[in-house]
Structure 1
Amino acid sequence: MSTYAGQKAVIIGGTMGMGLAIAKRLVEGGAEVLLTGRNPKNLKEAAAELGPSVHVVSSDLSDMDAVRALPALIEERLGGVDLLFVNAGIAELAPIAAATEDQFDRMFAVNIKGPYFTVQGLLPLLRDGGALVFTTSVADVTGTPGMSVYSATKAALWSFAQALASELVGRGIRVNAVSPGYIDTPGGGVQGITEEQLAAFQKAGDEATPLRRHGTADEVAKAALFLATEATFTTGVKLAVDGGLVQHVTAAG
């Protein structure tokens, strides 16, 4: 396969789950890929799985020194960038009455502050006519209990994406987002969750989703790559990959 031959792609948060699924498809399609992550174990496993042709870089979105250093490193490894995927994020569950300032700061640092300044730093490297795809979440519109802070970060990320789409249209750079629902990823994408809590979370997700199942990381990857490479007359769009969940919630409301 040479679907993405000649393309240079960066995946912020690409060592596991949806980011790793995007990386796999890009590599299979012949793209040159650089991905970032912060967990040493995940970095090592991603490098082993994807092979020596992939640039696997340790970078923490909550560390502004690392964020500021990333553009120079990417320029050294890739030169310009055709496709940029901003996928990293963390979720911690807590009702509003129990949420802590530390949780608030962590989620806003990783989910919006880090991505905002990462994209700002990479704009000079993003080639005219390129594409940028954010990973948001259905949580930004569903009003899910226990996810007030996480939902707010993802809503902020989508607002950023919309403004960016307007600002970059003159360069022919398309900016879109995928909005996953309940997806099979390690730990369900939630930090510090027990096996029992995860099982309950998954059950609730299956019951709430009209298609009555979780999605796969690869299904999200296919949607993200469609926006990045095939939806050439589409910008400023958020594509739900959620088994009909948002439509169902909206209709019920």
Structure 2
Amino acid sequence: MGKLDGKIALITGGSDGIGLATAQRFIAEGAEHVFITGRRQQALDDAVKKIGVKNVTAVQGDTSNMADLDKLFNVIQKEKGRLDIIFANAATCTFAPLGTITEKHFDDTFNVNVKGVLFTVQNALPLLVDGGSIILNASTSSIQGDPALSVYCATKAAVRSFARCWTVDLKERKIRVNTLSPGAIDTPLLRSLGTSEEENKMFMASWQAATPMNRIGTPDEIAKVVVFLASDDSSYVTGIELFVDGGLAQI
């Protein structure tokens, strides 16, 4: 018996990193079917091969694009007709110190990290069963001030606020909404923040040094916590922000 036996799940940003690791965990825990999204078709195709089972559907699209979301939910409606779990994981992050922030940087970051999360969840509601679970992927940046990341931090604070409000909005349907806030996790996104390989190594070393556990986390360590929040193991948990950060934002 798996913790997610018979469940239908949607994972946005599922082609690599945390999203891919979570899809693999969901399948291992008995999920009946997992839908994953991503903007790059080749990355999605590679993800499906890595997962290696037939009960995964990859739908290419941008969560901040309403037409792409319509396409996604049409596919889910046609193939399965319901959702039990939503993991709103898709996100973007780039540096921009105050004084250099452009309108494009602001729009690009908020469109994916805030607009995309909002309309992914809202458009999924007709398919989401009563008693379902919604997990929003935020960050330790929701409560910290990170240099040159003020726009990104603001988006993650907004995601945290969504979880609080939607917990109340959806309580009559017994849908639980929780926020997951990872620390420094070894993902392609984290390793791409610098402008050079040397700068990326410097960033990784600084995050490791700032983490009380003295290491960078793995995507699978986050995926295990997503399984907890998606399953009946967390049946009395809603509205929280669960930090999975090796102590980075706690000490």
Under a length normalisation based on structure 2, what TM-score does the superposition of the two structures give?
0.95
Say whether the 8 Å CA contact 2:191–2:200 is kept in structure 1: no
Deviations 1:40-91 (A, max 9, x none): 2211111111133211110112322212332222111221111110000000
Q: Partners of 1:87 and 1:122 in 2: how far apart? A: 14
What corresponds to 2:243 in structure 1?
A: 240
What corresponds to 1:23 in structure 2?
A: 23
Deviations 1:174-212 (A, max 9, x none): 100110010010141655642122111101101111111
The number of residue pairs the alignment matches comes to 248
What corresponds to 1:45 in structure 2?
A: 46
Say whether the 8 Å CA contact 1:187–1:193 is kept in structure 2: no
Within 5 Å, which residues of 2 pair with 1:142-181? 142-181=144-183
CA shift for structure 1 position 121: 0.6
What corresponds to 2:123 in structure 1?
A: 121
Q: Partners of 2:70 and 2:111 in 1: how far apart? A: 14
Could you say if the C-alpha distance between residues 247 and 206 of structure 1 is closer, same or farther in structure 2, counting changes exceeding 3 Å?
A: same
Q: Partners of 1:231 and 1:2 in 2: how far apart? A: 15
Within 5 Å, which residues of 2 pair with 1:1-253? 2-31=2-31, 32-51=33-52, 52-188=54-190, 190-191=192-193, 193-229=195-231, 230-248=233-251
Q: Partners of 1:22 and 1:143 in 2: how far apart? A: 28
Deviations 1:141-199 (A, max 9, x none): 11010111100111111111110111111111110011001001014165564212211
Can you give the 5+ residue segments of structure 2 that lack an aligned partner in the other structure?
Answer: none
Q: Partners of 1:150 and 1:92 in 2: how far apart? A: 8
Could you say if the C-alpha distance between residues 7 and 132 of structure 1 is closer, same or farther in structure 2, counting changes exceeding 3 Å?
A: same
Can you give the 5+ residue segments of structure 1 that lack an aligned partner in the other structure?
Answer: 249-253
Root-mean-square deviation over aligned CA pairs: 1.4
Q: Partners of 1:190 and 1:146 in 2: how far apart? A: 15
Q: Partners of 2:235 and 2:178 in 1: how far apart? A: 11
Runs of 4+ in 1 over 3 A off after TM superposition: 189-193
- SS of the equivalent of 1:149 reads helix
Say whether the 8 Å CA contact 1:178–1:239 is kept in structure 2: yes
Q: Partners of 2:194 and 2:211 in 1: how far apart? A: 24
